Amino acid sequence: MASRNLSRFSSFGKKIIGIGKNYSEHAKEMGSSVPSEPVVFLKPTTAYLTEGNPILLPLNNDVDHEVELGVVIGKPGKDISESSAMSHVGGYVLALDMSNRTRQAQSKNAGLPWALSKGFDTSCPVSKFLDLSQVPDPHSVQLWLKVNGVERQNGNTADMVFKIPTLISYLSCHMTLEEGDLILTGTPKGVGPVKHGDVVECGLGDIVSMTFNAEDRK
């Protein structure tokens, strides 16, 4: 991938596009139906967090973990066809879509966007950048997550409702995808709370794993 220095990352770090309810079992556990079109939201770049730094829990202290495969755009584009979409992928990351559930429920009920529930500082912990050779089949990798050593999530990207080419094509018809953009492809079932003092460990098969401590923000 032609790489440019983007914020504090060498290969990604631009806009973060979240996809919601992209695993039917997770949609079910949230009391939702499986969407007929991708559910899309944005996180600001200030949500990025790298290992060695704590997840800072917002004051209402009601945050869930969501482990996800992140797709990093390597070649910009708009109106990308599904058949050419994978040529726009520059690599991958393992990511967490930390979600403030009380706030999310409030905004859902009021018909408001998820910006604050999904976009708080440190709400997007990410692994190191993985190049294409490290994830040869992104639709067949295990996503797992443990809190304090206890398994909470364990699912396979094969179960995504909308696969990566569909997501890239769909998104690029609405907004230009730039080099370094990150698409969070949704979380499998098993989401649950993270509290002050918890240790969150997650992985993408045995390709990469990462660990974060959670703390109440001051």
Give the total of residues touching Mg ion (CB under 5 A). 3
Give the binding range for ligand OAA (CB under 6 A) out of 16-24, 136-144, 169-177, 192-200: 16-24
The DSSP symbol for 63 reads E
| Residue 187 makes contact with ligand OAA by CB under 6 A | yes
Count of residues engaged in binding ligand OAA, rule: CB under 6 A: 11
Look-up of token digits 């930390």: 98
Write down the least CB distance from residue 84 to Mg ion, Å: 26
Shortest Å distance, C-beta 98 to Mg ion: 9
What distance in Å separates the CA atoms of residue 120 and residue 165, rounded to the nearest whole number?
Answer: 28
The string of DSSP codes covering 125-193 is: EE---EEGGG-S-TTS-EEEEEETTEEEEEEEGGGBSS-HHHHHHHHHTTS-B-TT-EEE----S--EE
Among residues 21, 88, 146, 152, the one that binds ligand OAA under rule CB under 6 A: 21
- Contact assessment for residue 40 and residue 63, using Cβ atoms and an 8 Å cutoff: no
Q: Please choose which of ligand OAA, Mg ion, none residue 30 contacts, taking the beta carbon within 5 to 8 angstroms, the exact cut-off set by kind.
A: ligand OAA
CA–centroid distance for 204 within its chain? 12
Q: Does residue 157 bind ligand OAA (CB under 6 A)? A: no
Site for Mg ion contains 66 (CB under 5 A): yes
- For residue 189, give the amino acid letter: K
97 binds ligand OAA (CB under 6 A): yes
Instruction: Give the footprint of ligand OAA on residues 167-186 (CB under 6 A).
Output: 186
